[in-house]
């Protein structure tokens, strides 16, 4: 079974509970935290890759805790006609999905490594990075 990317959103009442630990321990799920913004007593967001036999039961558990679970349905695409390979997006990309290929000095994009944080969309001066739903 290949990993599925999901987004978790939760409120301050859940941010200090071990929900990810429970996914691993109780539901035998393999978790790869791709991106997280979690602070005690504040709202939190996580992007996860999740794999395992009890995937659906694990998601039901999260929902029962008050976690909003969404499939990662958006994707980032690079419009190669607009791109000037300035590299502004590569400096801001937290996963390295965007990088400069040397010695050609062109921007390369690996969508498999993208976590759809959309930082590149805001950083691109020519709007070559786009969100596709």
More confident residue, 124 or 112: 124
Contact between residue 46 and residue 29 where contact means Cβ atoms under 8 Å apart: no
Which tens digit of pLDDT belongs to each residue from 41-87? 888 888 899 999 999 999 999 999 999 998 877 789 999 999 999 99
Mean of the pLDDT values across residues 102-126?
Answer: 91
Q: Which of 72, 85, 43 is nearest to 131 (CA)?
A: 72
Average pLDDT, the chain: 90
The residues pairing with 129 across neighbouring beta strands, listed in sequence order, are 78
Q: Give the chain's domains with CATH numbers.
A: 4-71 (3.30.70.260), 75-132 (3.30.70.20)
Contacts of 106 (CB under 8 A, 6+ apart): 85, 100
């Amino acid at each position: 079974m290949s990993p599925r990317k999901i987004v978790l959103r939760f409120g301050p009442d859940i941010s200090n509970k071990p929900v990810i630990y429970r996914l691993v321990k109780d539901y035998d799920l393999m978790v790869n935290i791709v991106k997280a913004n979690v602070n005690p007593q504040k709202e939190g967001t996580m992007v996860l890759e999740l794999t395992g036999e009890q995937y659906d039961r694990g998601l039901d558990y999260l929902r029962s805790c008050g976690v909003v679970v969404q499939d990662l349905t958006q994707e980032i695409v690079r419009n190669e006609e607009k791109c000037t390979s300035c590299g502004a997006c590569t400096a801001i990309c937290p996963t390295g999905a965007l990088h400069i290929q040397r010695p050609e000095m062109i921007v390369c994009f690996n969508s498999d490594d993208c976590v759809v944080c959309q930082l590149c969309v805001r950083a691109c001066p020519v709007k070559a990075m786009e969100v596709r739903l």
